[in-house]
Structure 1
């Protein structure tokens, strides 16, 4: 069995053979001469033959030592290569899939905070389905996964954005077609559509919204899952429709935002990773991750970081305490 003692003994053996001196070989190996002598003696005992002929002028390889030198060099080179690979693997950035809605600045703050702690993150913005697929196929090592609000470590309140200021909180029933306009402040919403961003193309948001729309008397085409975020925003700017989004997203788009109160909808997120180590380290940056998701802080109720077998999605961080932003 190859042990570290055997590797270090072979390292000393090769150094002594190259320099022809026990003293110089010990110095090259970074050990005192008595330690080098013990290592050589230990190798000779293990191999059952002498490696060196010793004389007053130094040491020289025996025929047996000459035969063993090439193997010793290969073992030392292999060990050095393995140590180098270990350093590279340890320093390799952790690839983290995040929502596309995360701003460049917030992601930069997260990356800088991690780097100051000796940890590198490689950011991969992607929609929810792609984040899940990338994690399960190990194209990334961690991801912020979209989950129902009740299961989330972080939650983001959703509301309605419009090109004009809204009179107040929005109810889906306000989009129901009416024969005549209802008097009141704000833009006319009757018959308008509610458009969804790609980030909300998940069953726990899209499905719940469509069920609520049906109850409110909206027509099926009034809840729209556009093919892209620009297409959804174009419908708001060009046709006066509403956009389901967070307050931060509305601000980024230059739109007016109001809460959606019937129904109340929130995005939920958990940190998922393929290893205990990645989950534990990333969870140390919970505040920065909350900012990336729209400035929603993590709550205080919850459990320690969990991690499963490699390849499993691992929830991490502290679950929210049930309140909304």
Structure 2
């Protein structure tokens, strides 16, 4: 016996004084209402109603039980309402600040068309990790080494002037005289990093490569903010480590960095498998937000517009071992 629905019928019959009217108010046929009342009486071990030709009336026992039945029905209705609200509550997703408003809007709209709401929280890598750990957000796009990433983003060098071609870190090494060649003079300039690349697997690898290339320690710069980094590019002619999409957004010229080759890696991490499974359905939209591609996608596949790989469900979701 469904105790809640039986109590719902019990309260309706008691208020209307009729089994037929109480059944209609409960949305069930009269025989079903009668069986529910009989089931309650059997469980409680006493009659709830006195029946007469003019209808039904509560017995003294029924009067004592009515208040409890009403509380149970009210509590069940409140619980159902809370469940509806919880189901409709957006999933908070922490994303890199480099994601454009349009790409995030497409992700949000795609999710909404699938009956799923996303609340976007742009933040730097360390903040995204902290917010997920403290459950201030339910999911996050976490920065990881390229080998562990579900999505990867190629990094290159942006400059206020067009560069002659792919950049080698050794080109920044100080020289006694100007190095011949097209493009801006890079000797002695700095390579500045955005806050998104203030992670050990990018920053550390870059500093080691700079040491091998003969650069001075101060030539790889982690500025206090992205505007400060871009100001160094615009005002001092330095290079900015960034993606092609970020360079375009900033109005800078971009070339790939080939020595060393660097890529950002990202995985989707979530506090529940349910959130991870639903968000994984929007892998292509997430790739667009990151201006990246699924890990392992070949260059010719990207140029041909090959579909991205699905993100496997889990917490976290990733393309490599942890």
TM-score range, shorter chain: over 0.9
Where does residue 138 of structure 1 map in the other structure?
Answer: 135
**Post-superposition shift, 1:301?**
11
The corresponding residue for 1:13 is 10
In structure 2, the CA distance between the partners of 1:317 and 1:247, relative to structure 1 (3 Å rule), is: farther
- Relative distance call for 1:78 and 1:301 in structure 2 (3 A) is farther
Residue pair 1:301, 1:318 contacting (<8 A) in 2 also? no
Is contact 1:305-1:317 (8 Å) kept?
no
Deviations 1:233-260 (A, max 9, x none): 0000000000000000000000000000
Contact 2:93 2:119 in 1 (8 A): yes
For 1:183 and 1:278, the matched residues in 2 are separated by 55
Offset from partner CA, 1:191-233 (integer Å, 9 cap, x none): 1000000000000000000000011011111000001000000
Higher alpha-carbon deviation: 229-238 or 300-309 = 300-309
Q: Distance in 2 between matches of 1:44 and 1:292?
A: 61
Offset from partner CA, 1:240-292 (integer Å, 9 cap, x none): 00000000000000000000000000000000111111010100000000000
Please list every run of 5 or more consecutive structure 1 residues that lacks an aligned counterpart in the other structure: none
CA deviations on 1:65-120 (whole Å, 9 max, x unpaired) are 11100000000011111111111111111000000000000000000000000000
Distance 1:107 1:311, change over 3 A: closer
Q: Which runs of 4+ in 1 moved over 3 A?
A: 297-325
Structure 2 residue runs without a partner (length 5+)? none
Alpha carbons of 1:238 and 1:258: their partners in 2 closer, same or farther (altered >3 Å)? same
How many residues are treated as equivalent by the alignment? 322
Question: What displacement does 1:308 show?
Answer: 33
Check whether the contact 1:165–1:186 (CA below 8 A) recurs between aligned residues: yes
CA distance in 2, matches of 1:45, 1:322: 58
State the Cα distance separating 1:296 from its structure 2 match. Answer: 2.2
2:57 is paired with a residue whose SS is strand
- 8 Å CA contact 1:306, 1:316 repeated in 2: no
SS of the residue 2:37 aligns to: helix
Q: CA RMSD, aligned part only?
A: 5.8
